[in-house]
Amino acid sequence: MVAGQPLAHHRMCGLCRSNSLWSRGCNMLPHAEKSIYLNLIWCLMEGLANVLSYFSKRINFVLLISRQGKVRLTKWYSPYSQKERSKVIRELSGMILARAPKQSNFVEWRGYKVVYKRYASLFFCMCIDQDDNELETLEIIHHFVEILDRYFGSVCELDLIFNFHKAYYILDEILIAGELQESSKKTVARLIAAQDSLVETAKEEASSLSNIIAQATK
């Protein structure tokens, strides 16, 4: 390393040497301009890495808990055994239900943060890492609730009890592997409508097939 040369110069020189076109282009520049050029590229690369890191925040699991402590929906994006899941649900149910309404929506738990918000009789909870953004997670929770409202028409606990499979489908359209997949409510609504249409078509085809079989066996 030559004294006085910027660190970015040494980091980027490998790229220049490994690519003849880069090498010829860089060698055509005066040394001072070359250093500025390489520094600029390195800063852009670091900025891009920071942006990608920001959007790769991961949710570890999602819980929907009623005021009575009943679990209405669970989705796990990190590996937990069945025994561990039961323990997590028991711990968090007791912790969240015991909190006063005026307390914060964020709970420190086992080196993680649990973000929750109450809607009517349900607590929507998401577990995130310590360095993740709590407010962003609250927005994801609200996004999920708004889409449920659009689909069910003022969603209530009974909707999730009798149509839990649809609630899971909606959640899977929003989150994949614990990361936000779709932020557009219209897009999610369109995808859900398409799925419902496929289900209805399959039911009609199954019903027609049953009628044909019934008539053939008379």
Length of the chain: 218
Same domain, 20 and 108: no
Same domain, 139 and 99: yes
Higher pLDDT, 19 or 178: 178
Question: pTM of the predicted model, to two decimals?
Answer: 0.69
Asked if the structure places residue 198 within a domain, the reply is no
- In this prediction, residues 132-159 reach a mean pLDDT of 94
Asked if the structure places residue 33 within a domain, the reply is yes
Count structural domains, the chain. 2
Same domain, 109 and 170: yes
Alpha helices by DSSP H, listed for 154-184, are 157-162, 164-174
pLDDT digits (tens, 9 = 90+) for 12-45: 444 444 455 445 555 555 665 666 766 777 677 7
Asked if the structure places residue 94 within a domain, the reply is yes
Same domain, 47 and 63: no
Alpha helices by DSSP H, listed for the chain, are 7-18, 20-27, 31-55, 82-97, 134-152, 157-162, 164-174, 185-216
pLDDT of residue 28: 59
Asked if the structure places residue 205 within a domain, the reply is no
Asked if the structure places residue 81 within a domain, the reply is yes
pLDDT of residue 48: 60
Report the alpha-carbon distance of residue 10 to residue 27 in Å, rounded. 15
Helix axes 185-216, 164-174, angle to 10 degrees: 140
Same domain, 134 and 157: yes
Asked if the structure places residue 188 within a domain, the reply is no
Report the alpha-carbon distance of residue 150 to residue 206 in Å, rounded. 29
Same domain, 123 and 35: no
pLDDT digits (tens, 9 = 90+) for 69-94: 999 999 999 999 999 999 999 999 99
